[in-house]
Amino acid sequence: MKQPIFKRLALIGIGLIGSSIARRVRADGSVGEITIATRSQETLDRAENLRLGDSYNLDARDAVKGADCVILCSPVGTYEAIAEHIAPALEHGAVVTDVGSVKQSVIDQMQPYMPEGVHFIPGHPIAGTEYSGPDAGFPSLFEKRWCILTPLPGADEAAVKKLSEFWRSMGSDIDIMEPEHHDLVLAVTSHIPHLIAYNIVGTASDLENVTESEVMKYAAGGFRDFTRIAASDPVMWRDVFLHNKKAVLEILGRFSEDLAHLQRAVRWENGDVLFDHFTRTRSIRRGIIEAGQETDEPDFGRSQQNQDD
């Protein structure tokens, strides 16, 4: 029989990410038992109906008792309060980690409350969909995706190794990174794409001369690819932007500069500038496919079955 990696896993928050972890580790038997905490009675009931855990708590402090691994899976704006609240009940030797999309802020929020002897190792699985809540999770969410860990200086090597093993058991590859660098990389690859997707969808719905129904009908021309990520959880994303302000503003400044350059090329009909730019961006796409982070099927949101002759 397989040896569990952790004896008791406490999941604080049971949305898309938390419920995907729960589904996966239950299927794999990689933890002995799962305890789930969320402040919403409705969400907790739903998690229980879905049989995502072995025990259920409204109070996160109760959930972490006896847990040798605690994962915060709630929006990053909640972390400081949770850290303060659970700290007195954390077990000596427990691994405390998270799945937040920013890392320096998580360290600033949680580290001051972490007791001596608890292994606090911030983490971020680069995986998600535009759906949220306990029903949205699925066990393969982390397959072939990167999980970035940002251990603090002097972190316990055995604990980092164990947490890495846990994420690998869910199909992920592990990278170790500095928190500040993580926040910059993710600002580019995730946060700014979400902000501009949210923005274009808003711009489109505000037009006086184009109806919302026209926007929806003709979305297949490119717009729908943006609406997918602009449908992501509003609380989670509000918190991401508020907690990665520095990197988001830096990348947004560059984005706007670059957009002004393309806009000028349109105004002055400088076709070469546009052509050169559009050619360059093609190679990035190929790189992503080669890195295994995307398929090369021309699906554009349609299901594959429609495309075969």
d(CA 167, CA 147): 7
The CB-of-223 to a copy of itself minimum distance in angstroms stands at 4
Among 50, 155, 174, 200, interactor with a copy of itself by CB under 8 A: 200
Q: For the window 14-53, what string marks contact with a copy of itself as x by the rule CB under 8 A?
A: ---------x---x--------------------------
Residue 131, CA atoms < 13 Å, CB-side half-sphere:
11
The CB-of-2 to a copy of itself minimum distance in angstroms stands at 19
Q: Which stretch binds a copy of itself (CB under 8 A): 6-14, 32-40, 149-157, 227-235?
A: 227-235
d(CA 93, CA 21): 21
The CB-of-192 to a copy of itself minimum distance in angstroms stands at 6
Listed in sequence order, the residues at least 6 apart from 205 whose beta carbon sits closer than 8 Å to its beta carbon are: 212, 215
Q: Are strands 123-125 and 146-149 parallel, antiparallel or unpaired?
A: antiparallel
Residue showing tokens 């890195």: 291
Residue showing tokens 């905490």: 37
DSSP 284-301: HHHHHHHTTSS-----TT
Residue 188 binding a copy of itself, by CB under 8 A: yes
Residue 112 binding a copy of itself, by CB under 8 A: no
Listed in sequence order, the residues at least 6 apart from 129 whose beta carbon sits closer than 8 Å to its beta carbon are: 16, 136, 141
Q: Which stretch binds a copy of itself (CB under 8 A): 1-9, 49-57, 88-96, 179-187?
A: 179-187
Residues within window 272-291 making contact with a copy of itself, judged by CB under 8 A: 274-275, 277-282, 284-288, 290-291
The CB-of-245 to a copy of itself minimum distance in angstroms stands at 6
Give the number of residues in contact with a copy of itself, rule: CB under 8 A. Answer: 121
Among 70, 106, 127, 170, interactor with a copy of itself by CB under 8 A: 127
Q: What residues pair up with 55 in beta bridges, in sequence order?
A: 35
Listed in sequence order, the residues at least 6 apart from 26 whose beta carbon sits closer than 8 Å to its beta carbon are: 34, 52
The CB-of-92 to a copy of itself minimum distance in angstroms stands at 34
Residues within window 1-20 making contact with a copy of itself, judged by CB under 8 A: none
Query: Measured from the CB atom, is 161 or 238 closer to a copy of itself?
Result: 238
Residue 202 binding a copy of itself, by CB under 8 A: yes
Listed in sequence order, the residues at least 6 apart from 307 whose beta carbon sits closer than 8 Å to its beta carbon are: 297, 298, 299
